[in-house]
Amino acid sequence: MEDYGRFLAFLASSLLVGFVSVILSLVWVLHYREGLSWDGSAAEFNWHPVLIITGFVFIQGIAIIVYRLPWTWKCSKLLMKFIHAGLNTTAMILAIVSVVAAFDFHNAGNIPNMYSLHSWIGLAAVIFYCLQLFLGFAVFLLPFAPVRLRAALMPIHVYSGLTIFATVIATALMGITEKLIFALKNPAYSESPPEAILVNCLGLLLVIFGSLILWMASRPHWKRPPAENA
């Protein structure tokens, strides 16, 4: 790879931006909100943004670009598939736990479920992510699918993976926005209190993280060389 340094700069920036996003989500719920617990209270709901940003955004983002790390090109393709699948499975589990936390909190407080656009798109994203994972496992990881089927499905796997990732980030932005509108009362969101500024910055970082990952994933010359597959 002739522009190894540029790739490393993108990788380091995305890791930094993703890591700071996770920290900001923790500062949000621990410093400005009710903290974290599992008791049906608002502190249980707070797992929702933390686990979505950690799992569904950060870990999923890393899972997407894991084949592009040049020092893994001498590892077997099968090992890299296990790492890709393992990171995505971890992200799926965290996303499901985070959705359970949101439903639990709503049910304990008689708050209606599944009325917002955030919840519709978010649940669709979780369902399609599970389908993507099980299909990917069956076609690309297990040894049964013929090469022609793998080759036919690979562009669809890549396209739907990137689309789900972008949708998850858009859904996180909707969730952040509605939470700030619901939760900030005195002072209100419109008065730009420090919590609003911090969480707006978190949203900005999620967009930057998504852009960096999608850039790395869409550069053909940063792909794992086919000759080194095995």
140 near ligand ASC (CB under 6 A): yes
Rounded Cα distance, 102 and 60, in Å: 20
Query: For ligand ASC, which is the closer residue by CB, 186 or 230?
Result: 230
Rounded Cα distance, 16 and 205, in Å: 10
Q: Which of residues 146-165 bind ligand ASC (CB under 6 A)?
A: 147, 150-151, 154
- Three-state SS for 86-113 is HHHHHHHHHHHHHHHHHHHHHHHCCCCC
Query: For ligand ASC, which is the closer residue by CB, 87 or 176?
Result: 87
Stretch touching ligand ASC by CB under 6 A, among 53-61, 145-153, 181-189, 197-205: 145-153
Instruction: Output the smallest distance, CB 189 to ligand ASC, in A.
Output: 47
Rounded Cα distance, 204 and 175, in Å: 14
Which residue sits closest to ligand ASC, CB atoms considered?
Answer: 150
Rounded Cα distance, 25 and 62, in Å: 18
State both tokens at 198.
Answer: 């911090």
Q: Which of residues 14-43 bind ligand ASC (CB under 6 A)?
A: none
77 near ligand ASC (CB under 6 A): yes
Interface characters, 210-229, with ligand ASC (x: CB under 6 A) = -------------------x
Query: For ligand ASC, which is the closer residue by CB, 17 or 139?
Result: 139
Q: Whose CA is closest to 32, among 174, 206, 169, 202?
A: 202
Stretch touching ligand ASC by CB under 6 A, among 20-28, 101-109, 143-151, 159-167: 143-151
- Residues 202/24, Cβ–Cβ less than 8 Å: yes
Instruction: Output the smallest distance, CB 226 to ligand ASC, in A.
Output: 7
Instruction: Output the smallest distance, CB 84 to ligand ASC, in A.
Output: 11
Is-cis flag, bond preceding 187, omega within 30? yes
At residue 173, what is the residue type?
Answer: L
Q: Whose CA is closest to 164, among 199, 198, 132?
A: 132
Query: For ligand ASC, which is the closer residue by CB, 9 or 138?
Result: 138
The contact set with ligand ASC (CB under 6 A) reads: 77, 140, 147, 150-151, 154, 229
